[in-house]
Structure 1
Amino acid sequence: MLEPQQDIKQQVANLIREARKAKGLTQEELGERLGVTKAAINSYETGKQNLTVVTLQKLSIALGESLQISIGK
């Protein structure tokens, strides 16, 4: 069983990857939009990077999607 912190990081990573693919972007193309490397995008999408809220906001803008954060049910 994953620890809660690892679980949420993987959930966010999966959402980023799914959103990127839905937009038809490569990791390199998304990286260019954000001003980061393909390797950075890969670390976002594999849950290796603990993303800040600011980075999540930049990702949502680059992907043309809204950022929604929910606590509770």
Structure 2
Amino acid sequence: MIVETHQKKCFSCHSSSFYQLSVISYQLSVISYQLSVISCQGIDIHYVQGQHIYLTNFILGLFVNKFLAN
């Protein structure tokens, strides 16, 4: 829900396709993490992978925002 309201608020200034891709990949990583929690199989591996994906997207998002600001 937070991501959706952020998209609505900041759509005009974040209309870049890079930002949209990072949002989509973040949402996919959240969904895959939630699915791994529900399945309860290999949860440690999925958790580590999810954290790695989240950090990668976070750093990518920071880079894209800095690039757009310039």
Q: TM-score, normalised by structure 2?
A: 0.41
**Which of these two proteins has the greater Rg computed from alpha carbons?**
2
Report the structure, 1 or 2, having the larger helix content. 2
Q: TM-score, normalised by structure 1?
A: 0.40
